[in-house]
Amino acid sequence: MTMPRAISGNELPGKDGVLTVTNLQKRFLLGRAGIFGRGSESYVHAVDDVSFSLGRGEVLALVGESGCGKSTLALTLLGLEKPTRGSIRFEGNEISEYSSAQMKNVRRHMQMIFQDPYESLNPLMSIGEIVMEPLKVHKLGGSRAEQETRVVRALEDAGLKPADRYLKRLPHELSGGQRQRVVIAGALVLEPTLLLADEPVSMLDVSIRAEILNLLAELRDTRGISILFITHDLGTVGALADRVAVMYLGRIVEIGPTMAVLTNPQHPYTKALLSVVPVPNPRLRHKRLILSGETPDPINLPTGCRFHPRCPLAVDACRKTDPPLHPAGAGQEVACILVE
């Protein structure tokens, strides 16, 4: 695990924040109980009362097991899912009620990088055409020559240098890491202020992962891009993220500066995730904490703290009290009744 760059205290974004999410909820209606559908409605609680903010040029890692709601959160931010309730402010504008046409405009500035570079690229288009496509869709970039200049810059900023060597090639001629760089170039060509990177390295060979994480860190530093880095692997956040938010069953259960969360986790779930991250130095290893049972059903949420069925520290009160996030540790906020 790479250790994070130093960050002092709870370096939360100020008024210059790019994104502020407040009490965001996304539920999916499953249906009604009863033979004639007159019973109570049942929902999948995918994202439940999530609040966080993201500063300009900041990287926030959103970490949790698959199914915890982190990808649904990203799709809701992009407007590909309608929020059930809550506020999403992007660049000072409330976008949670925007129409599809308005969201298309927002997506010029908020770009998604998906997990699978093999699925994300049209196999019949050349690399130059793929990176040019977003400019055509959004009718941006001026003349054809100006558009080509932007394509070359995006490819080279994504580490495909010289760009001439890649423009005419097809996706299958590139390695997995190069394809993910093409996906990133396709986002960069629109000059976004925010990247939503959903598991951007999980499909890549281990040897390539560090290169892509370094590239994202470089884009944060050189272009001032904010990044919401979504991952199931706490071991990948140290080199890139300024802050970490840990999600469990649709909720953020711990958020704080990366150094504090990785070296002094407060929530039992964060401790469990961290305890299974491989560490080269045996003296720095945390005691393994294997959680019992499966993640509860997001349709029938447990009462009280939703982590209590798996929590090794649970007491009776945990079944009755649903703890909100409160300040704890070095700039962290934690949702646990046992953490002062």
- Of 67 and 304, CB closest to ligand SF4: 304
Strands (E), the chain: 19-32, 41-54, 59-63, 85-90, 93-94, 110-113, 194-198, 226-231, 243-248, 251-257, 326-328, 332-334
Query: Would you list the DSSP string of 133-158?
Result: HHHHHTT-SSSHHHHHHHHHHHHHHT
Amino acid at 333: E
Q: Which two tokens stand for residue 243?
A: 């802050």
> Are 4 and 262 spatial neighbours (Cβ–Cβ below 8 Å)?
yes
* Segment interacting with ligand SF4 (CB under 6 A) among 139-147, 223-231, 271-279, 302-310: 302-310
- The CB-of-56 to ligand SF4 minimum distance in angstroms stands at 33
* Segment interacting with ligand SF4 (CB under 6 A) among 98-106, 185-193, 232-240, 301-309: 301-309
Kindly determine how many residues on this chain lie close enough to bind ligand SF4 according to the rule CB under 6 A.
Answer: 12
Q: Which two tokens stand for residue 130?
A: 């793929």
- Of 134 and 323, CB closest to ligand SF4: 323
- The CB-of-321 to ligand SF4 minimum distance in angstroms stands at 7
Q: Which two tokens stand for residue 289?
A: 């904490």
338 is a site residue for ligand SF4 (CB under 6 A): yes
Distance CA 256, CA 269 (A): 14
- Of 76 and 270, CB closest to ligand SF4: 270
Closest to 253 measured CA to CA, from 65, 42, 59: 65
* Segment interacting with ligand SF4 (CB under 6 A) among 71-79, 141-149, 278-286, 300-308: 300-308
Identified binder of ligand SF4 from the candidate list 75, 210, 314, 330, rule CB under 6 A = 314
69 is a site residue for ligand SF4 (CB under 6 A): no
305 is a site residue for ligand SF4 (CB under 6 A): yes
Closest to 166 measured CA to CA, from 121, 225, 110, 119: 121
313 is a site residue for ligand SF4 (CB under 6 A): yes
308 is a site residue for ligand SF4 (CB under 6 A): yes
249 is a site residue for ligand SF4 (CB under 6 A): no
**Binding residues for ligand SF4, per CB under 6 A?**
268, 305, 307-308, 311, 313-314, 318, 323, 336-338
